[in-house]
Structure 1
Amino acid sequence: MDERLKNVVVEHSDDIVKMWLEEVNTHKKNEYTSTISDEMFESTNREFVNVIFSSIEKQGLSSDLDDFSERLINLGWPLSYLTDGMQVFRRVVTDFILKQSDKIDSDYFSEVLRKVDGWVDPIINRLVNEYSGSWEHIVSLQRVALQELSAPLIPVMENITIMPLIGTIDTERAKLIMENLLDGVIKHNAEVVLIDITGVPVVDTMVAHHIIQAAEAVRLIGSRCILVGIRPEIAQTIVNLGIDLGKFPTKSSLRKGFQTALELTNRRIEETQNNDEDIEKLIDSLDRE
């Protein structure tokens, strides 16, 4: 009986596909598909149902399932598209098989359900597992990339480096900041590190504590920290919270912090000014050449 049911489904695949597409297309108004073009939605649906039939006909799970799951992730489609589509397929196939029989009893009905479940459930499991695994892998790669960009230490001049911080600082990120800071100070032989918090929206007790810890760690390895980018509202918050930042210099802007860093490394910025006569001589000499 199992082989006979399978032959019925395969032989009438065109009719089943048509029924499946009609029902799936009613989901087009869903939030996750409402912005997708009709052509893309229809082509993806046809690819989906072809992958399903390919797995049934081969009497095993096709690698096409893995490729299709990965493609959906790249398109940004949710997992619910797969699970909803498989449930529709289960219902359409069951109804179609039952309509092909002249007489339906409870045993036949149970056998049809069991057989269809045997086709559908492994496909759902494979699709969900592959989708979840691929998604976790992508999220992991993105997390690593964000971590690498979340606390960079940038050498701007000999013995002077800058660490710009952007976004919220939690405990995990604070640990990363500490590691990057200490490694970068040693790697770049930095005497002064500018920690720029211009892009940090909120500085509370915890954030200030992490910054103080980082500055103290840098001091212990022979360098100095300058905290820059302290906006008026941040300064007021620090005062209201009673946070002591007196152990290392603080500046309102990166420009002022950089000037202080130059002074700490026995350097300074000097402005040079050429008089008009010197400029005219230079222009004349260039014209003669």
Structure 2
Amino acid sequence: MDKKFKEIALTNSDTIVHMWLDEIDSLKEQNYTATVSDELFESTNREFVNVIFTSIKGEGSTKTLEDFSEKLINLGWPLSYITDGLQVFRRVTVEFILGQSEQVDSDYISNVLKSVDRWVEPIIRQLVNEYSGSWEHIVSLQRVALQELSAPLIPVMDGITVMPLIGTIDTERAKLIMENLLEGAIKHNSDVVLIDITGVPVVDTMVAHHIIQAAEAVRLIGSTCILVGIRPEIAQTIVNLGIDLGKFPTKSSLKKGFQKALEMTNRKIEDIETKDEEIETILNSLTGE
């Protein structure tokens, strides 16, 4: 009986596809894909129904399901698109098969439902598993990328490096900041490390504690830490909290911090125009002009 129902579905696949597309299209304006272009929506739906029929025929592969699931994730479509689509396919297929028989009793209906469920449920499991696996893989890669970007240490001159911090600092990120500071200061042979907190929205007791710990750790390996980017509201917060930042230099901006770093490494910024004038004066004196 199951073979007979499957033969009906496959023989009339074009009709079932059109029924399925009409049902899915009616959902577009009220769900997660309402903002998707009509062209992309139609092409993805056709690919989806092709994946379904390929799996029913037994010609599909895990790679096919994996590629389709990954495509949905890259498009930003939720898992419910898969489950809704398969439920719609189940309904229209059952309705079509029942409509092909002149005599329909409860046993016949039950057999049709069971048969279609046997085709659809494995596809649901496989697609959901592939979708979940691809999503977890992408999230894992994004987490690694964010960690790499969350506490970068940038060498700007011999002996001077900068760590720009943006966003909230929690315990896990503070640990990463500490590790990157120590490893980077040693790797770049840094005499001065500037921690720029211009992009840190809130500096509370915990954040200040983490920064102080990082600065102290840098000091222990022979480098000096300068905290820059202290905005007026952050300065007021630090004072109100009674946080002592007196153990290392602080500056209101990265520019001032960099100038301080140059002084600490016995360097300074020279005005090129002034130097040119001095050279011209010396040359004139030598030529008697």
> Given the two structures, how large is their TM-score scaled by the length of structure 1?
0.92
Q: Which residue of 1 aligns with 2:22?
A: 22
Q: Which residue of 1 aligns with 2:287?
A: none
Q: In structure 2, the residue corresponding to 1:275 is in which secondary structure?
A: helix
Matches within 5 A, 1:202-221: 202-221=202-221
Q: Which residue of 1 aligns with 2:181?
A: 181
Q: Which residue of 2 aligns with 1:275?
A: 277
Amino acid of the residue matched to residue 21 of structure 2?
A: L
Kept after mapping to 2: 8 A contact 1:61/1:123: no
Q: In structure 2, the residue corresponding to 1:162 is in which secondary structure?
A: strand
Q: Which residue of 2 aligns with 1:169?
A: 169
Residue correspondences, number: 281
Deviation, 1:217, is 0.9
Return the alpha-carbon distance in structure 1 between the equivalents of residues 189 and 250 of structure 2: 22
Matches within 5 A, 1:120-199: 120-199=120-199
Q: What's the Cα RMSD here?
A: 1.9
Kept after mapping to 2: 8 A contact 1:165/1:199: yes
Q: Which residue of 1 aligns with 2:223?
A: 223
Q: Does 1:67 align with 2:70?
A: no
CA deviation map 1:206-231 (0-9, x unaligned): 11111011011111111111100100
Seen in structure 2, the aligned counterparts of structure 1 residues 62 and 254 have a Cα distance that, compared at 3 Å, is closer
Seen in structure 2, the aligned counterparts of structure 1 residues 78 and 163 have a Cα distance that, compared at 3 Å, is same
Amino acid of the residue matched to residue 271 of structure 1?
A: D
Amino acid of the residue matched to residue 17 of structure 1?
A: V
Q: Which residue of 2 aligns with 1:260?
A: 260
Q: Which residue of 1 aligns with 2:83?
A: 83
Return the alpha-carbon distance in structure 1 between the equivalents of residues 177 and 278 of structure 2: 50
Kept after mapping to 1: 8 A contact 2:228/2:253: yes
Could you list the structure 1 runs, at least 4 aligned residues long, displaced by more than 4 angstroms after superposition.
59-62
Where does the alignment leave 5 or more consecutive residues of structure 1 unmatched? 283-289
Return the alpha-carbon distance in structure 1 between the equivalents of residues 63 and 5 of structure 2: 24
Amino acid of the residue matched to residue 268 of structure 1?
A: K
Return the alpha-carbon distance in structure 2 between the equivalents of residues 151 and 277 of structure 1: 44
Deviation, 1:276, is 9.3
Deviation, 1:28, is 1.2
Amino acid of the residue matched to residue 235 of structure 2?
A: A
CA deviation map 1:72-131 (0-9, x unaligned): 222222211111100100111111112222222322222211111111011011111111
Q: Which residue of 2 aligns with 1:245?
A: 245
Q: Does 1:101 align with 2:101?
A: yes
Deviation, 1:271, is 3.4
Return the alpha-carbon distance in structure 2 between the equivalents of residues 111 and 277 of structure 1: 99
Where does the alignment leave 5 or more consecutive residues of structure 2 unmatched? 285-289
Seen in structure 2, the aligned counterparts of structure 1 residues 195 and 42 have a Cα distance that, compared at 3 Å, is same
> Given the two structures, how large is their TM-score scaled by the length of structure 2?
0.92
Deviation, 1:60, is 6.2
Q: Percent identity?
A: 74
